[in-house]
């Protein structure tokens, strides 16, 4: 039976405060858009007309309303699962099968993951085939969506199951320092995934092939040589079969390092803009942003594993949520539930670090290409193509945005370029 005590009170306050903060920021951002979103910012007047601006506002409002509602519904379901007594019942049911503690944990997490994935199906379908379809982005068929869902679920179960099996084995048999070994294990798996993702997982969802425009390929390779960066390949991804959204990215480490350009980007942007976008991505590597992110992530991971080890045998943790005695896999789940709201309130710090990295990468574009115009034009075109909100509320952007708001970003590029002339 669930116990109402100080621990539960603290958890509920943090959980509800997170939901209230999300809702407040959502309403604040949309109110700001409605108030100021009828005038095209001066810097976008050569790219965005009034009709496009109206479409941007409508898309932002529809998409944000939907995702806010979906988030609140999932949080409500999560709270019901935690406080209804379902988890103690599920543990007893699995334990009655007599399969052993590690297999119990695997089944427990597998069933909860399956329920979570199933609950997301109607929201995913609506997002893709109603909202994205309404604004001309979706190109997926229902068959493709179902196959993507099934492949993602299988990958999640295989990789997640393997990591969980190793983690539970370390907790049970690793002694008092199990959490150190677990931290090293998870860090190793994350690094391995950086290496494997481009060559094993990504090709399960998209087709990658060499860019046919040899002139563009030569310019890209010259850019790489200029900064002393070697890449395995410059590839085009068939992103257009799913969506009209445009993007480009660096991926992989070591021998799997590669540049990937969406086919939609290649179709809609001139070469100068593509080169500037790639120069920005190169900036992330040259400024060692990936390495810095890995270090920060591992520091956070170390603190999380230490916290898990400290709380894993705390009787009050289990009694609060209706369990009679400590159980390893239950403890891992409950500690994750307690830490989740705290993780949300760390979002502004993560966003601030990311925005700093993005500004440094923008500065690298100027340093490398000696001009801001192609990058500014690319950002304007990307904003128009993707119907990006041009005027987010400053507090909303501070809390959530991993990139500086577009108007601020383009104005900064333009000012920095003029100051270096």
Query: Would you please indicate which residues are annotated as catalytic (active-site) residues?
Result: 281, 362
**In the block, residue with structure tokens 């952007």:** 397
If you search the block for the tokens 């109603």, which residue do you land on?
Answer: 130
Checking DSSP bridges between strand 233-237 and strand 258-262, what pairing results, if any?
parallel
Beta carbons of 224 and 250 less than 8 angstroms apart: no
Tokens matching residue 252: 């992989």
């Amino acid at each position: 039976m669930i116990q109402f005590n100080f621990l539960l009170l603290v958890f509920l306050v943090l959980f509800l405060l997170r939901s209230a903060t999300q809702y407040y920021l959502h309403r604040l951002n949309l109110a700001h858009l409605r108030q100021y979103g009828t005038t095209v910012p001066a810097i976008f007047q050569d790219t965005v007309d009034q009709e496009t601006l109206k479409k941007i506002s409508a898309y932002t409002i529809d998409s944000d309303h939907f995702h806010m509602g979906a988030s609140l519904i999932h949080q409500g379901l999560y709270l019901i699962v935690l406080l209804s007594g379902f988890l103690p019942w599920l543990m007893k049911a699995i334990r009655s099968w007599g399969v052993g503690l590690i297999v119990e944990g695997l089944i427990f997490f597998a069933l909860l993951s399956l329920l979570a994935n199933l609950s997301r199906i109607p929201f995913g379908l609506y997002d893709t085939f109603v909202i994205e379809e309404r604004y001309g982005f979706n190109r997926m068929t229902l068959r493709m969506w179902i196959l993507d869902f099934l492949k993602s679920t299988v990958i999640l179960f295989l990789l997640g199951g393997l990591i969980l099996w190793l983690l539970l084995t370390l907790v049970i048999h690793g002694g008092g320092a199990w959490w150190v070994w677990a931290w090293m294990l998870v860090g190793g798996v994350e690094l391995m995934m950086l290496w494997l993702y481009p060559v094993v997982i990504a090709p399960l969802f998209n087709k990658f092939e060499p860019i046919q425009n040899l002139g563009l390929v030569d310019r890209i390779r010259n850019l790489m040589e200029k900064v002393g960066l070697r890449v395995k390949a410059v590839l085009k991804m068939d992103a257009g079969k799913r969506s009209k959204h445009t993007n480009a990215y660096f991926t992989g480490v070591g021998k799997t390092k590669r540049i990937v350009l969406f086919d939609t980007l290649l179709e809609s942007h001139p070469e100068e803009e593509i080169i500037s976008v790639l120069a920005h991505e190169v900036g992330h590597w040259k400024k060692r942003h990936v390495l810095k992110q890995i270090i920060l992530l591992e520091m956070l991971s170390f603190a999380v594993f230490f916290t898990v080890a400290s709380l894993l045998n705390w009787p009050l943790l289990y009694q609060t949520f209706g369990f009679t005695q400590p159980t390893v896999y239950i403890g891992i789940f409950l500690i994750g539930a307690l830490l989740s709201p705290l993780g949300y309130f760390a979002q502004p710090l993560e966003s601030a670090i990311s925005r700093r990295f993005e500004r440094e990468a923008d500065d690298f574009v100027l340093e490398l290409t000696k001009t801001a115009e192609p990058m500014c034009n690319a950002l304007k075109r990307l904003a128009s193509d993707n119907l990006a909100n041009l005027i987010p509320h400053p507090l909303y952007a501070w809390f959530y945005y991993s990139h500086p708001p577009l108007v601020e970003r383009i104005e900064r590029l333009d000012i920095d370029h003029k100051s270096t002339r």
